[in-house]
Amino acid sequence: MEYQIALLKGDGIGPEIVESAVAVLEKTGKAFGFTMAFHDYLLGGAAIDKTGVPLPQETVDGCLASDSVLLGAVGGPKWDDLPANIRPEKGLLQIRSILGLYTNLRPARLYPALAEKCMLRPDLVANGFDLVIVRELTGGIYFGERGRRTGKYGPEAYDTECYSVMEIERIARVAFSAAQKRRGKVTSVDKANVLESSRLWRETVHRVAEEYEGVTVEDMLVDNTAQQLIRNPAQFDVIVTSNMFGDILSDEMSQLTGSIGMLPSASLGDGTRGLYEPIHGSAPKYAGTGRCNPIATILSGAMMLRYSLNQNEAADCIENAVDQALSDGCRTRDIAGPEDTELSCTEMTKAILQRIEL
């Protein structure tokens, strides 16, 4: 069995962390009897520099022809002054939309070995936490009508939040299905006390909930959710929310797990092809220094094996190798304490590779 994987290394530290994930995936494939053919395509700033656009047609075609897509990160100050329609981030939004990837899964787990890196008091995370944010990915304010105009007080800009019933129904079903395989609880996050789009969101989520016996649903305003994640993250199982709210809340969660360099993500649609990426950015100041953490990208590769390639045992193997490396004291700069030896990106990758059984 050979899988065709599109690599979108992108900008900044993207190439380094993707290469780390590829090394782990290749060794894991050998251990479980499958191979992967990796194909490089341009995205983001790297694509702009070579082709003038953030998403070349060659990249689109390559992704559509692949079994799955592994992404590093895009963007950086080099391209900040470009018009919005050709900035690196525009390419990322476009490829998600073209591939029909309306679901973003962002798991957040506090590893026992990193408990001391959590920003919360030890008594608040004594039993750890394990939750997943199900973020709607192709609708909402990031894709709504936008522009600039002359208003009451002069020049103004606007971005529109808009959701259809269909968009809410399908993301809600993903969340409830995930909860059925976990602890059976969904927290739907909105701003229904203010936004009409959130009132439609809440109504629709509750109607869909009736289809899922054994799963409970609660509503929580986004500002309260931000507080509750700090007070008691263990109370959450599956959080389902809109594009922008999910973006913000998952970054908040990253600080409770020790580092944003620890959190993977999966972007999924109705088919098996997905796009997998760490939730952090391109960190251009660390590019080429070897100081980045490859774990989020490596774990994104594990999610690819699980959700797109149906290689669950191989995914478990990678996740266990990461867990074991952390338990053995392996630390990159972002998760190292004063007495820890800091490993480079390459050294952390080697540590994980050593813990994958052939």
Active site residue 285: no
Active site residue 123: no
Candidates 111, 142, 212, 276; catalytic one: 142
251 a catalytic residue: yes
Q: Is the alpha carbon torsion for 115, 107, 73, 305 positive or negative?
A: positive
Of the residues 9, 90, 117, 191, only one is catalytic, namely 191
- CA 52 from chain centre, in angstroms, equals 27
Catalytic residue, from 80, 223, 270, 328: name it. 223
**SS3 assignment, position 159:** strand
3-class DSSP assignment, residue 69:
strand
Distance (Å, whole) CA 59 – CA 63: 6
Out of 11, 190, 237, 247, pick the active-site residue: 247
Place of tokens 């490396």: 325
CA neighbours closer than 13 Å in the CB half-sphere of residue 147: 4
Beta carbons within 8 Å of 218's beta carbon, 6+ residues apart: 185, 186, 187, 188
The interaxial angle of helices 345-354 and 14-32, nearest 10 deg, is 10
Asked if residues 39 and 5 have their Cβ atoms less than 8 Å apart, the reply is: yes
List 131's β-bridge partners, or say none: 108
* Catalytic positions: 142, 191, 223, 247, 251
